[in-house]
Amino acid sequence: MRFLLAAASFFVASSAFAEPFDECPSKAFLTQGRISQTYSVNLVTGDYQMLASDMGTTGVINALGFNPEDRYIYGWSYIHNSPARVTKDFQVEA
């Protein structure tokens, strides 16, 4: 019984973190750093703001793009050598 409760808690908690974006974000995003951090960039002024200092990965994410079919952002994960899904809270799901 404890296992079932723990498993249910895990799935409820993990689904809360894996939400897609509500709609296509109108901001430009930049990921950079040896361990990727996400920034929002104003393309008119060049101003930027950090959105996530920890994307839940130990490697670099490159080439972000929005998928309107499922409302997630995808990028290339160098640590997994494959595409990685980025959730609404800018956490990587490989």
| Per-residue pLDDT at 16 exceeds 70 | no
Residues forming a β-bridge with 86: 73, 92
Any idea which residue has 């409302």 for tokens? 71
The Cα 76–Cα 62 span in angstroms is 5
* Other beta carbons within 10 Å of 65: 12
Q: What share of the chain is helix, strand, coil (3-state, %, to 5)?
A: 15, 35, 45
| Per-residue pLDDT at 12 exceeds 70 | no
The Cα 88–Cα 51 span in angstroms is 11
List, for residues 69-82, the tens digit of each pLDDT value. 999 999 999 999 99
Whole-model pTM: value is: 0.72
Any idea which residue has 């897609």 for tokens? 20
Share of the chain above pLDDT 70, in %: 81
